[in-house]
Amino acid sequence: MIVDQFVDIAIENGEIDALDRVYVTNRLLDLLGWSEKRAVAENVAADRLSLLDRLTELAIESGAIGETLAEQEIWQSKVMDLFMPMPSQLNTEFWELYKQSPRKATDYFYAVSKESDYIKTRSIAKNIEYRVKTEYGELEMTINLSKPEKDPKQIAMAKSEQGVSYPLCALCVENEGYAGRMDFPARTNHRIIRMRVCDEDWGLQYSPYAYYDEHCIFLSAEHRPMVINRGTFERLVGITAQFPDYFVGSNADLPVVGGSILSHDHYQGGAHTFAMAKAPVHKEFPGYHWAEFPDVTVDIVKWPMSVIRLRSASATEIVAAADAILQKWVGYSDDSVDILAYSGEERHNTITPIASCRDVDGERVFELALVLRNNRRTTEHPDGLFHPHATLHHIKKENIGLIEVMGLAVLPPRLKPELEEVARYLMDQPNAMADYHLEWADRLKATGGFDAETVTEFLRQEVGKVFCQVLTDAGVFKDTETGIRAFKRFIETVIGTEDAK
C-alpha cells in the first residue's frame, strides 16, 4: 500500500513515533479524499518524493484537489506537514542543540527543511550552474530553472482571490503554517526559528529555492521597511556572533539597487563562500590607518564593484566604523565619476553590507564588507547609471542584489532555450534566435568556427564575461585609473589624508 509505504518512511526517519501510525494514516486518507485504504497498482520508486508525486496524482484522480500547480503544491505542503514537529517543538530542539554548537542546530533545521520538501531540492537541481574564471576570481553562474511558471488556470483562479492581504508579505512570520492560495505560496510545512537580535524579535528560515549552500533568511518579526543604518550593522554583526558558520548580508534599501522585497526588513545568509569574500586587497590601495578606530583594519577589495572591507575583533568598533562610512557616503558626490548623492530630495547613495565572523589565532574577528551603491538614473541610462547597461539586457536586466554583488549570477530561465538558439546561429544551423542577441552573437561568431562539442561551453564562458561587465556597470568607482583616484578621494574624505599610510 502506497499510504503505508509513505508513513513507514516517516517512522524510519524518526519524524513520527510508531504509535502515531494510525492517526497519521487517517489524516493522509482524508487528504486523499479516501474513506478507506485502497490497493493501487504501483510501479513507483520507494523514495519519499516519488511517492509524494504518486499520491498527488491519486488526490487529483479522487477529486480532492484540482490540476493546477498551485493546488498541488498546497496539497503536498499539507501532506508533509503531517510529519513535521510543531513550531514550539522544533524551536525547543533547535536551541537545545545550539547549546552544543550553532552548527549542530542549523544542521538539524536544514535537514528538517529538506526532508519536509520545504526546500525544493528537486527543483533546485534543475538549475544550470557553472563557474567562469575572471581577473576577479571565479564567478558563479546560475540559470534559474527552479521556480515553475504559473499555468493559465492558476492565473485565472488567482484573480478571484485578489485583495487578500494576509499575510502582508512572503516574509512575515504569519506565513508559518499558512495553507497558501492561488496567488500566494503554500507554507503549511514552513517553520521559523525564533531568535533575539539586538533586543528585537527576529526569525530564521531557509529559502525554498536556494541559490547556494544553506541559503537562509533572517527576518524581522515586525513588518517594517528595509533600511540601511547603524542598527543594520549592529544586527548583522550580532547575527554572525550567534551563527559564526554563516555569513549574513542585506540588500540595499533603495529601488534599482535594492532587493525584490523592500517592504520587510530581512537579511540573507548561509554557509557559502562567495568570490567576493575570497578577493584580495587591491594593489593600488595602501593599507589605511584610521585614528578614530585604531582597532579596525580598512582595505579596498579587488572587485568590479566598489567594496570596503573592515575587520576587527571589536563588534562595537566595527559597527561604528561602518556607520561613519555610511554617513559620509550618503551625502557624497563626485561629478568627475558621475556620482550624485541627491537629485532634489531623492537620495541616491546607499550600501549593500555583508558580515561574517571567523576565528583568527583563537580570537573572534568580525568582517564587514561595505559595497557602495548609487541608484541614479540618467537620460542615457533610464534603468540606472550604476545598473546593467542596455547592451547587456539581453543577458541580464534585473536588479543587482546581494547575491549577485558577491559574485553569483542569477540569470532568467529564458536563457536556457535562447542560448541553444544562439548556439545554432554560431554553427550556421537553422535557428530562431531572438533579435536582441544578434549584435552579441555576431561579435562571437567573428572569433572563429564552432562545433557541437565546444559551442555550449564557449557560450557559458561568454555569458560569464557579460556578468563580469554587469558587475562593472554596477560599480560606482570603476577599476580604472580615473576610478581608483576617485575611490581614494572618498576614502580620504572618510578617514582623513593624515591617516593613510
The values of phi and psi at residue 370, to 5°, are -110, 110
Rounded to an integer, the average pLDDT of 60-87 is 96
Q: Which three cell numbers stand for residue 250?
A: 542585506
pLDDT of residue 164: 80
* pLDDT exceeds cutoff 70 at 501: no
pLDDT confidence of residue 216: 98
Task: Please confirm whether the linkage preceding 167 is cis (ω < 30° from 0).
Answer: yes
Strand locations in 314-348 (E): 342-343, 346-347
pLDDT of residue 360: 84
For residue 361, the model assigns a pLDDT of 82
Q: pLDDT value at position 287? A: 84
Q: What is the DSSP letter of 199?
A: T
pLDDT in tens, 466-492: 999 999 999 999 999 999 999 999 999
pLDDT at 139: 98
More confident residue, 201 or 261: 201
Distance between CA atoms of residues 303 and 276, nearest Å: 7
What is the spatial distance between Cα 266 and Cα 455, in angstroms, rounded to a whole number? 41
Q: Is the pLDDT of residue 50 over 90?
A: yes
Q: How confident is the model at residue 169 (pLDDT cuts 50, 70, 90)?
A: very high
Residue 291 CA, distance from chain mean position = 36
pLDDT of 159 over the 90 cut: no
pLDDT of 85 > 70? The answer is yes
Res 396 pLDDT > 70: yes
Long-range contacts of 1-4 (CB under 8 A, 24+ apart): 1/37, 1/39, 1/40, 2/40, 2/42, 2/44, 2/51, 2/54, 2/55, 2/58, 3/28, 3/29, 3/32, 3/37, 3/55, 4/37
User: Confidence class of residue 174 from pLDDT cuts 50, 70 and 90?
Assistant: very high
Average pLDDT of the chain, as a whole number: 94
Q: What is the predicted pLDDT for the residue at 286?
A: 85
Cβ atoms of 406 and 249 within 8 Å: the answer is yes
Residue among 181, 190, 209, 147 at smallest CA distance from 71: 181
pLDDT for the residue 496 = 83
The predicted model gives 164-172 an average pLDDT of 92
Query: What ranges in 33-132 are assigned the alpha helix state H?
Result: 48-62, 69-81, 87-100, 102-115, 121-124
DSSP state of 117: T
In angstroms, the first-to-last Cα distance of the chain is: 74
Render pLDDT for 381-391 as a digit per residue (tens, 0 to 9).
999 999 999 99
* pLDDT bucket at 156, cuts 50 / 70 / 90: low
Range of weakest confidence among 19-23, 260-264, 404-408? 260-264
Confidence of residue 39 (pLDDT cuts 50, 70, 90): confident
Q: Is the pLDDT of residue 498 over 70?
A: no
Q: Is the pLDDT of residue 394 over 70?
A: yes
Comparing 216 with 157, the larger pLDDT belongs to 216
Determine the average pLDDT of the residues in 142-149. 84
From 161-165, 209-213, 313-317, 432-436, the region with the lowest mean pLDDT = 161-165
Measured at the CA of 445, the angle between CA 442 and CA 449, to 5 degrees, comes to 165
Q: What pLDDT shows up at residue 499?
A: 52
Collapsing DSSP to helix, strand or coil, 353 comes out as: strand
Cite the beta strand spans of 398-468 per DSSP E: 408-411
Question: How far is it, in rounded angstroms, from Cα 409 to Cα 129?
Answer: 10
Report the range of poorest mean pLDDT among 21-30, 176-185, 254-263.
Answer: 254-263
- pLDDT of 206: 98
What b/e sequence results for 29-57 when a residue is b if at least 16 CB atoms lie within 10 Å of its CB, and e otherwise?
eebbebeeeeeeeeeeeeebeebbebbbe
Q: What is the mean pLDDT of residues 116-131?
A: 96
- Cβ(357)–Cβ(367) below 8 Å: yes
- Distance (Å, whole) CA 165 – CA 280: 46
pLDDT at 368 over 70: yes
The predicted pLDDT at position 150 comes to 54
Hey, which bits of 398-443 come out as E strands?
408-411
Q: Please tell me the predicted confidence (pLDDT) of residue 149.
A: 60
In this predicted structure, the answer to whether residue 221 has a pLDDT above a threshold of 70 is yes
